[in-house]
Structure 1
Amino acid sequence: MGIIVALGDAYCFTKTNTAGESAKGCILDGKLYPFGEIERTENCFRCSCSQDAIRCCSLFHTPVGFDKERCKVVFNKESCNYDVVEKDDPSKECTVYSRVG
């Protein structure tokens, strides 16, 4: 029995608020979020909103180590994760050996 652990940071970014945006919160992907910590946005990011900017990090990691000939990657918004499934039969999952943030 083996255990594989992938270490890495999630994908992060900062978006500076434009003049007038910062009065009520932060706008991300057309949606207004309140000041403070946001546990999960609609697009699967954890964010911190302040008057000057919104800082976000992804809740998901992108699969990179898998059989690309046989399998494909599909984003699952409910779980905030990528599923790797067989191209010919998407009901079957593929083994993923590594992911990056």
Structure 2
Amino acid sequence: MGITVTLGDAYCFSKINKPGETDKGCVLDGKLYPYGEIARTENCFRCSCSKEEISCCSLFHTPIGYDKESCRVIFNKKICDYEVVQKSDPTKECTIYSRVG
């Protein structure tokens, strides 16, 4: 049986809105999001948008503890998470021992 330990919270950031940029919401990665809570952006962040700023935290944690010789990391945007698969057979998953936010 394995144990997965998260070594930190999700990756978070804030971006101050430029005056006059928009009066309908916040722009992130070229896309306009409405004021209020955003459950999931196109790039897998949960955000809060106000007239002053947009604050976001990732919905994923990056794997750091896995067999780096035999496995590789792939980001899956559909599920907003990283998959660690065998280099020799990408249909087989590898064990992840730890992740960071």
Contact in 2 for aligned 1:44/1:77 (Cα 8 Å)? yes
Q: Which residue of 2 aligns with 1:14?
A: 14
Deviation at 1:6, TM superposition (A): 2.5
In structure 2, relative to structure 1, the CA distance for the partners of 1:20 and 1:30 (3 Å cut) is same
Gaps of 5+ in 1: none
Paired positions, count = 101
TM-score (norm 1): 0.94
Q: CA RMSD in A?
A: 1.2
The aligned amino acid for 2:81 is N
Q: Which residue of 1 aligns with 2:70?
A: 70
Deviation at 1:24, TM superposition (A): 0.9
Q: Which residue of 2 aligns with 1:31?
A: 31
Gaps of 5+ in 2: none
TM-score (norm 2): 0.94
Q: Percent identity?
A: 72
Contact in 1 for aligned 2:26/2:33 (Cα 8 Å)? yes
Q: Which residue of 1 aligns with 2:97?
A: 97
In structure 2, relative to structure 1, the CA distance for the partners of 1:71 and 1:3 (3 Å cut) is closer
Distance 1:3 1:64 in 2: 14
Deviation at 1:22, TM superposition (A): 4.1
Structure 1 outlier segments of 4+, above 2 Å = 1-8
In structure 2, relative to structure 1, the CA distance for the partners of 1:2 and 1:61 (3 Å cut) is closer
Instruction: Indicate the SS of the match to 1:23.
Output: coil
Q: Which residue of 2 aligns with 1:42?
A: 42
